[in-house]
Structure 1
Amino acid sequence: MTIRNSIILTILPLIFLASCGESPKEKQKSTVEVEAKKDSVQIDSTEIKKEKEFVLTEENAIDFFFQYQKDLKVDKVKITTRLGSFTIQLFDNVPYHKANFIYLTRKGYFKDTQFHRIVKNFIIQGGNSDDVKTGRKRSEIGRYLLPPDTRKGHKHHRGVISMPSSEINNPHMLASPFEFFIVVTKPGSYHLDGDFTPFGKVIEGMDVVDKINSVEIGEGDWPSQNIYIQNAEVVE
């Protein structure tokens, strides 16, 4: 073998190695950078925010409202409809139901819900709607029921606001927290006592409640023309 051929055979492997691209260390470094970049985009700030948002449940609702009512300095809510406004004063000795109503009002739940059930000379019932956004608001606030509180001496006099019980698998008559009804009957509907929880009364605008009760109704006691709650606000 000549010296020239020997030199060529020595150089060729070096050229081959040089053409193979990254060295093992460079390849390892590049892989780490790719993995780091990949991991950095997996954290979704929206998901973190959702995890931190408070949602009421059957397990935490009573404890939450027990604490919430301790600092409540308000007891009135004003409800506005296209037929006018009326003001409700909530009873202090029904703390969970009072706190629930104030909380939902402050969360903006009642706005754009409807008086969806009108029974002539008996009640008007509100807090529900056939709009999709009402169901969405309920999901965001949480799914829970409230225990009845019927032994505080309150009766279903005319103008009293009370909370209906849930109709779904509810042998203990737990209250549906998103809805309420107001008694229109003179002097009252006392057959409801003991089954439902009165938690306040209309102190102003009972004539508006009567107007709502007098509207034309269709099938299922639903008003022929929707009666939206245009606004519900805590009277500070």
Structure 2
Amino acid sequence: MKKLLLSLSLILLVTLTKAQSTFVRFVTNKGDITIMLYDETPKHRDMFLNGIKIGLYKDAEFNRVIKSFVSQGGELDDTILNREKQHPELGTKRFPAEIKPMLFHKKGALGAGRDDNSDKASYFTQIYLVVGKKQNDAQLDAIEQKKNRKIPEAQRTVYKTIGGTPNLDQDYTIFGEIVGGMEVADAINQMATDKNDVPLSAIVFNPVVLSKAEAAKLRRQLKY
């Protein structure tokens, strides 16, 4: 517990040199997933990199898998909230949101989990991968009416052809996307779970930051 609390304190203080187009490989017991972190959300990008550096995601698990919705990894809400309840002297620490209109919950997006705080601030130790499903115009129209916001035409096209979870847009910070291994992410999202969406067998992952050479090679392959 002391080590974890120390790590959570360090993550508030450590500032890494900002890297452009950073890639992280999720090495899982189901296969590898490669993710590009967005430079448009530099604070969340660096927060996640800091977390990897100090071991917050070592042997982490996708511990809440909601089929055709998201696969959540890191710490569960109950774990975080119970720790805060047991240690009120530490206060409630959340990471300020970086919600950008052009970053949305398309299939393959990487998001930061959070509780229902009014600032939409993120947890330090919880992420999720979007799987979602394809939407039709009627479904997207209903979301627009419910949330009183217009879904850009380009995003509507993506939701209709690739899929995602548009009902989460502008409520959670999206800070990356899958650029390799989507089939692994799909397989993880289809794993058998109990009634609480907890996988029946452990889905372990270890995020590894790609070297500059590896990232440069991957950018060339992806034409970024």
* TM-score tier (shorter): 0.5 to 0.7
Asked whether the equivalents of residues 16 and 50 of structure 2 are also in contact (C-alpha less than 8 Å), the reply is no
User: Do the aligned partners of residues 158 and 172 (structure 1) sit closer, same or farther apart at CA in structure 2, a change above 3 Å counting?
Assistant: same
Q: Tell me the distance in 2 between the aligned counterparts of 1:233 and 1:106.
A: 9
- Relative to the length of structure 1, the TM-score reads 0.64
Measured in 2, the distance between the counterparts of 1:218 and 1:54 equals 31
Instruction: Write out per-residue CA displacement over residues 104-155 of structure 1, whole angstroms, 9 at most, x where no aligned residue.
Output: 1122221212101000111100012699xxx8xxx9xx97311111125101
Assess if the C-alpha contact under 8 Å between 1:160 and 1:183 holds in 2.
yes
1:232 aligned partner: 207
Q: What are the Cα deviations for residues 47-79 of structure 1, in whole angstroms up to 9, with x where unaligned?
A: xxx9xx88627xx93xx46xx254435611111
Aligned 8 A contact 1:148 1:175 in 2:
yes
| Structure 2 equivalent of residue 56 of structure 1 | 9
User: Percent identity at matched positions?
Assistant: 29
Give the aligned residue type for 1:234. V
**Residue 105 of structure 2 contacts residue 169 of structure 2 at CA under 8 Å; is this kept in 1?**
yes
- For the 8 Å contact 1:91–1:199, the answer to whether it is kept is yes
Letter in 2 for 1:91: Y
* Structure 1 counterpart of 2:164: 188
Counterpart CA distance in 2 for 1:82 and 1:112 is 10
Partner of 1:93: 40
CA shift for structure 1 position 195: 0.3
| Distance in 2, Cα, partners of 1:102 & 1:70 | 10
Aligned to 1:18: none
In structure 2, the residue matched to 1:106 is 53
Report if the CA contact (8 A) 1:106-1:234 is conserved: no
User: Using the alignment, how far apart are the partners of 1:87 and 1:143 within structure 2?
Assistant: 32
Please state how far the C-alpha of 1:173 moved relative to its aligned partner: 2.0
Aligned pair count? 168
Structure ranking higher on relative contact order (CA contacts 8 Å, 6+ apart): 2
Q: Retained in 2: the 8 A contact 1:69–1:95? A: no
- Against the structure 1 CA distance between its residues 55 and 214, is the aligned structure 2 distance closer, same or farther, given a 3 Å change threshold? closer
Deviation per residue, 1:63-104 (Å, 9 max, x gap): x46xx2544356111111111111110000101100011111
- Confirm or deny: 8 A CA contact 2:101 2:170 kept in the other structure: no
Is contact 1:127–1:180 with CA below 8 Å preserved after alignment?
A: yes
Structure 1 contact 76–88 (Cα < 8 Å) conserved: yes
For the structure 1 residues 71 and 188, does the alpha-carbon distance in structure 2 shift closer, same or farther, using more than 3 Å as the test? closer
- Structure 2 residues without counterparts, runs of 5 or longer: 134-162, 212-224
Inter-CA distance 71–182: structure 2 relative to 1 (3 Å threshold): closer
| Shift in CA distance, 195/55, structure 1 to aligned 2, threshold 3 Å | closer
| 1:224 partner amino acid | L
Partner of 2:29: 82
Report the Cα distance in structure 2 between the residues aligned to 1:143 and 1:76, rounded to whole angstroms.
30
Answering whether residue 161 of structure 2 is matched by residue 208 of structure 1, we say no
| Runs of 4+ displaced beyond 4 Å | none
Aligned partner of 1:178 in structure 2 is 125
Say whether the 8 Å CA contact 1:74–1:235 is kept in structure 2.
no
Structure of higher CA gyration radius: 1
Quick one: distance in 1 between partners of 2:125 and 2:8? 14
Alignment of 1:1-236 (within 5 A): 56=9, 61=12, 64=13, 68-72=15-19, 75-128=22-75, 144-167=93-116, 170-186=117-133, 187-229=163-205, 231-236=206-211
What's the secondary structure of 2:9's corresponding residue?
A: coil
Whether the 8 Å CA contact 1:118–1:221 is kept in 2: the answer is: yes
